[in-house]
Amino acid sequence: MLGKTLMNATLWALFAVHSAYAAEGDDIPQRAQTVGDVIERPGVLTPKGNWSFDSSLNYSQNSSNKVSVVGYTVLPTLIVGRIEVSDADRTTMTLGLTTRYGLTNATELELRLPYVYRNDQVSVRPIQDGAPSVINTTIDGGGLGDVELAVRHQFNFDSSPYWIGGLRVKSDTGRSPYDVSIDEGSNAFSDVPTGSGFWSVEPSLTMIYPTDPAVLFASLSYIYNLEDTVTVGDTNADVDLGDTIALSGGMGFAVNPNLSFSLGLSHKTILKSKVDGRSADDAKLLQLDSLTFGINYAFSRQTSINVSAQAGLTEDTPDFQLTVRVPFNL
């Protein structure tokens, strides 16, 4: 979903390695563009009084196959009840417009406005009922996602590793899943959600360690979701989405002054959600692991292009994600 596409701690570490071009010979700290620039200029945030803009397009593909059995077993090979097979393919495209402003040479503010488009295709066939055909359901649409505001601060400049702290606040401006009805026949949304429906706060800590010609980075963050009251059917319930613990790391490597690439590995643990203070009996921890490969090319001192591909390594992680970013600095 959209909230996951914001510049979180992992992507920020990648961005700090190679997202903006550093001018040669300037005394004012510049946002680092290449690995070599990070080594020469430890200031990786937007300089004081400067603006930077970032447009990004994220494509995410996820598919799942599920067999549901509702009934009971009479013999080891005989089930009385309902057997249902479903296949779901979900495609999400997110257009993000981001602006950053340097309050000081060590602190910057960020505002991100996302637009989310989703296409969900769900095929269901109740085998036990002897259904003559497969029930296909397709829903698509888009809208404003969850707007986000972030602040980052670089703690040190004189020695490495460089440490950057961040605080991100995500709103609930997107269409919540609880605001969309569910079709009983296909068990699919009648319209596409574009947000999580909950406010969240994410503190993070990022480490960047230059070791010419490479830069090592690592990030740790915790996403705290604020509890809220939602309407489920005809009743109200207090829903507390499971918080997320995120840990990631990787390496950026400079091929030449204009071209660099990065490799990263990220892990997220999503804790159990609670409804009215209790977790469901079948609730479980979700483990999300992914491998990311990115390439950055600098066209000039003002702009560059970054392309990154992410492959899911666990069942709950999106199968594939592709992100194209074009930062522009003033």
pLDDT tens string 309-328 = 999 999 888 899 999 999 98
Separation of alpha carbons 207 and 230, rounded Å:
38
pLDDT in tens, 40-87: 445 678 889 999 999 999 999 988 765 544 444 444 444 444 555 567
Mean pLDDT of the chain: 80
Compare 6 and 177 and report the one with higher pLDDT: 177
At 10, list the tokens. Answer: 């992992």
Helix (H) / strand (E) containing 37: helix 35-40
Separation of alpha carbons 105 and 103, rounded Å:
7
Q: Which of 189-193, 231-235, 288-292, 326-330 has the highest mean pLDDT?
A: 288-292
Separation of alpha carbons 319 and 301, rounded Å:
35
The pLDDT, as a whole number, for residue 237 is: 85
Let me know: does 13 contact 219? Beta carbons within 8 Å: yes
Q: State yes or no: pLDDT of 157 exceeds 90.
A: no
Query: Of 141, 121, 98, 107, whose CA–CA distance to 7 is shortest?
Result: 98
- Binning pLDDT at 50, 70 and 90, where does residue 256 land? confident
pLDDT in tens, 178-211: 888 776 655 667 788 898 889 999 999 999 998 8
The pLDDT, as a whole number, for residue 300 is: 86
Q: State yes or no: pLDDT of 100 exceeds 90.
A: yes
DSSP string, 237-265: EEEEPPPEEEEEEEEEEESSSSEEEEEEE
Beta strand 107-126 with 135-144 is antiparallel
Q: What is the rounded average pLDDT of the residues 220-243?
A: 87
Q: What CATH number is attached to the domain comprising 282? A: 2.40.160.40
Helix (H) / strand (E) containing 21: none
**Which amino acid appears at position 172 of this protein?**
D
The pLDDT, as a whole number, for residue 84 is: 54
Q: What domain range is 181 assigned to?
A: 2-329
Q: State yes or no: pLDDT of 108 exceeds 70.
A: yes
DSSP conformational letter for 48:
B
Compare 15 and 141 and report the one with higher pLDDT: 141
Number of domains within the chain: 1
Helix (H) / strand (E) containing 16: helix 9-18
- Binning pLDDT at 50, 70 and 90, where does residue 128 land? low
Between 67-81, 211-225, 228-242, the lowest mean confidence (pLDDT) is in: 67-81
pLDDT in tens, 258-284: 899 999 999 999 999 888 888 877 778
Residue with tokens 């570490």: 13
DSSP conformational letter for 315:
T
Q: What is the rounded average pLDDT of the residues 248-261?
A: 91
Compare 296 and 43 and report the one with higher pLDDT: 296
